[in-house]
Amino acid sequence: MGSTVLSLRIDGELLDRLRSHAAKRGMSVQDYVVRTLIREDFDERFKTAVDETERFYGEASAGAGPAPEPSPGDHVRPSAGIA
């Protein structure tokens, strides 16, 4: 797999926060941003897979009774380390 350049124009305050978060992890800003994007992409793909699985098995388990209600904190998405 090759690589491609992505150029971003971001606010100075955001860049300072990214530098701070990256430094805490001993990473460059570039590596920190790439890892954050990879994690976010994984989260989206995982959620899609879970949703599809629930739709697939939802019909088969319709007689099993109602599913338990999730607690309010069950669906909170992480901020991906960006304050």
Give burial (CB, 10 Å; 0-12/13-18/19+) of 32: buried
pTM: 0.56
pLDDT for position 6: 86
Domain definitions of the chain by residue range: 30-59
- In this prediction, residue 17 carries a pLDDT of 96
Structure tokens at 25: 């992890």
Residues 16-59 pLDDT 10s: 999 999 999 999 999 999 999 999 999 999 999 999 999 888 86
Instruction: Give me the pLDDT at residue 3, please.
Output: 85
What is the average per-residue pLDDT within 8-19?
Answer: 95
- pLDDT of 15 over the 90 cut: yes
